[in-house]
Amino acid sequence: MNAVVELDRVSKAYPGGVTALRDVSLTIGYGELVGIVGPSGSGKSTMLHLIGTLDRPSAGTVRIDGHDVATLSDRRLSALRARRLGFVFQQFHLAPGQSAVDNVADGLLYAGLPVGERARLAEDALVRVGLGMRLDHRPHQLSGGERQRVAIARAVAGAPPLLLADEPTGNLDSVSGAGVMALLRDLHRTGTTVLVITHDREIAAGLPRQVHLRDGEVVR
């Protein structure tokens, strides 16, 4: 199996003696749909930050898309993040005064694309997530589920091989949350590797693979 994520005996410790992850090994192949599951304080967010190259491990090796994170300069790490990773968070992080298409296009700023190309990719991504009729709507004109769809469109507009979704239904009602999970499954079916971080066991139960964390260790 070709791996998009490889963690080899990874630990992460913080000042004050707090160890958030302890000797974790994990491999995620291209094209998988995986849930990282665990209660608050289990190490899910730390794992997300390491896989997303937002932080570096205290020990062990993190490889993303074949790249050993420890060997990359900050500049090369930023380039890897911009081109190979997409992020969706519980908070939508949309600019309130901008249209949906501008919010998505802004997510491509660091991809080195001309303005027209960014706009075209943004429109295509919004159509893909079912918001082709909402291109010019601003966040306050959209429902919570629609705002999360804009955030997902922003994450996938550059066609990254890996999408990291951190509690993507956390701020949504059950109907909107189900719609977002259906969208993530659709993206997975078209080839995107999707990693969903969640404490919701019901959501996790609907995913083909689950990795359970507790107290910074993989328990199942």
Spell out the per-residue pLDDT of the chain, length 220, in tens: 589 999 999 999 998 888 999 999 999 999 999 999 998 889 998 999 999 999 999 999 999 999 999 999 999 998 898 889 999 988 889 999 999 999 999 989 877 789 999 999 999 999 999 999 999 999 999 999 999 999 999 999 998 999 999 998 888 888 888 999 999 999 999 899 999 999 888 888 899 999 999 999 999 8
Superfamily of domain 3-218: P-loop containing nucleotide triphosphate hydrolases (3.40.50.300)
Closest of 10, 42, 37, 39 to residue 26, by C-alpha: 10
Closest of 151, 148, 84 to residue 111, by C-alpha: 84
pLDDT of residue 2: 83
Do residues 138 and 123 lie in contact, with contact meaning Cβ atoms separated by under 8 Å? no
The first and second tokens of residue 48, run together, are: 């997300």
Do residues 30 and 194 lie in contact, with contact meaning Cβ atoms separated by under 8 Å? no
- For 98, the 3-state DSSP assignment is coil
pLDDT of residue 30: 94
Q: Could you tell me how far CA 191 lies from the centroid of its own chain?
A: 15
Q: Which amino acid is at 93?
A: H
- For 62, the 3-state DSSP assignment is strand
CA distance 17 to 20: 10
Please count the other Cβ atoms lying within 10 Å of the Cβ belonging to residue 161: 16
Residue ranges of domains in the chain: 3-218
Q: Where are the beta strands (DSSP E) in 105-187?
A: 162-166
Beta strands across the sheet bearing 59-64 = 18-29, 3-14, 59-64, 67-68
pLDDT of residue 110: 79
pLDDT of residue 1: 54
Query: In whole angstroms, how far apart are CA 135 and each of 30, 37, 70, 101?
Result: 31, 34, 39, 5
Q: What is the model's pTM?
A: 0.91
CA distance 129 to 217: 35
pLDDT of residue 199: 87
CB-based contacts of 211: which residues, under 8 Å, 6+ apart? 26, 34, 35, 36, 37, 218, 220
